[in-house]
Amino acid sequence: MKKNKIKIKTVNSDYSVYVGSNLIKNFGVILKKEKILFNKFLLVIDNNVDKKNISLLKTSHRKQKKYIYNFISSERNKNYKSVEKILKLLLKHNFSRNDCIIAMGGGITGDLVGFAASIYKRGIKFINIPTTLLAQVDASIGGKTGINEKSFGKNLIGTFFQPSLVLSDTTFLKTLSKKNLICGYAEIFKHSLIDSKSFFNFLDQNYKKILSLNSRYLIKAILNSCKIKKKVVEKDIYENEYRKVLNLGHTFGHAYEAAAGFGKNLNHGEGVLLGIKSAAIFSLEHKYISKNNYLKIIGHLEKINFDLKLKKYFRIKDIDRLLSFMMNDKKNKTSRINLILLKNIGRPIINKSFSGIKLKKFFKEQLIYI
């Protein structure tokens, strides 16, 4: 069991994030080490999780009473109806605050289960076992939980609720498709752009090894990514100001996801990469970033074979719908749209807001000329 541990310290609680291979086999040992105790637990399993890993977790907890809920993971199922099913199970089996709910799956599952845990009796122990690269480097750290609202957008209903433990076992990643790995890599790439030029250079030199799951380079990429997010989250747990940097590419990306039908044609990672590309173009057009650094960002996207264009998914008639989703973004405090942009690789710009008219012009240019 090769593992690395990061400690996340927040105002209300501290918790450990373990990163390594074959961690699931030692789940019981880690719980004992972290002094996390409970009498019974509900395991919410993403339908994409390998059954071998599920049985390993069950075996390590023979003494505790366990209940299983199989969740069909999709952005469309990330809704209150799914939360209600989990809450009713907890109530039916008389779970107390001393018991535990465990999420085993991707970011959708972690967000949903974390939200359910936060509102059940005003908070029950929550352990997150992210099984996708995206969840391991992003959704599992920082305490954001939430569900979607079909008509208005993504993650608009949610809470800040920290887990008791995060277990990022890289063994899970072996079953992921290339598309899913790219999805997670999007967040790693984003973290380099908002914080570290040296990390960006590391990714630019080693992306092939990371995406082929070379353990040494993969774990280094995950750890560096988690450390960047830890630094941001500890500085601004409730996203009052600085934490907004984590939304680079997301104001655009979430609108793209929502307008495309939540995962039907465009998954989260693809939406974020497309959003990062849009933010980079927008930064260049407004003379925030140099042409040289802009080309480095676009060049890296091309290296990982991501050269998607907006017009693959949208037409001119979709612009008003895209703007509507962007207007509903959580980070907006006025009628203008707040964007996270780039001054340099590793130097984000926070709180630049723009009118819908300016964004409309931008989308028209992207959809007609590019």
Q: How far is CA 113 from CA 15, 55, 97, 216, 367, in A?
A: 17, 20, 15, 31, 38
Domain architecture of the chain: domains with CATH: 2-175 (3.40.50.1970), 178-368 (1.20.1090.10)
pLDDT recorded at residue 367: 84
Q: What is the dihedral of CA 89, 94, 98, 99, to 10 degrees?
A: -40
pLDDT in tens, 305-319: 876 788 888 999 999
pLDDT in tens, 150-204: 888 888 899 999 999 999 999 999 999 988 899 899 999 999 999 999 999 999 9
230 burial type by CB count under 10 A (0-12 exposed, 13-18 middle, 19+ buried): middle
Give the type of residue at 41: F
C-alpha dihedral sign at 348, 191, 247, 14: negative
For residue 321, which phi and psi values (nearest 5 degrees)?
-70, -40
pLDDT recorded at residue 226: 95
Q: Where are the alpha helices (DSSP H) in the chain?
A: 27-34, 51-59, 80-92, 107-119, 133-134, 178-195, 197-211, 215-235, 250-259, 268-285, 291-303, 319-327, 356-368
Cα(148)–Cα(155) distance, integer angstroms: 5
The list of the chain residues with pLDDT below 50 reads 1
- The answer to whether 354 and 302 have CB atoms below 8 angstroms apart is no
pTM above 0.75, yes or no: yes
